[in-house]
Amino acid sequence: DIQMTQSPSSVSASVGDRVTITCRASQGISSWLAWYQQKPGKGPRLLIFAAYTLQSGVPSRFRGSGFGTEFTLTISSLQPEDFATYYCQQANSFPYTFGQGTKVEIK
């Protein structure tokens, strides 16, 4: 199985800050990577797929990049509604696997 490792596991930030989350795959996954946002008590929300394609309705402050084994999610200017947990997911091969999550907290 492909292991997905996110860092950091948590980050404290203020509104307006730039936040970067990294996801590393244990083997190459081309661009088959998605990012999800999850808020407490809710199902995840797809933000980005195919490493950098923004899902419809997602604000442009979210940006994905990377290829192969290293990927990044950047939130250019953190907004109050962005405080949540973020997960990466590889879609290269079954079983699909997720990173352990990165919690973005209010500083």
Region 50-69 residues binding another protein, contact defined as CB under 8 A: 50, 55
β-pair partners for 36 = 46, 87
**β-strand pairing of 97-98 with 85-90:** antiparallel
- Residue 37 found at the interface with another protein (CB under 8 A): no
Stretch that binds another protein, among 19-27, 44-52, 62-70, 73-81 (CB under 8 A): 44-52
Tell me how far, at minimum, the Cβ of 19 lies from another protein, in Å. 19
Q: Distance (Å, rounded) from C-alpha 96 to C-alpha 76? A: 28
Nearer to another protein, 43 or 80 (CB): 43
Tell me which amino acid residue 81 is.
E
Q: Distance (Å, rounded) from C-alpha 73 to C-alpha 59? A: 13
Region 1-30 residues binding another protein, contact defined as CB under 8 A: none
- Residue 91 found at the interface with another protein (CB under 8 A): yes
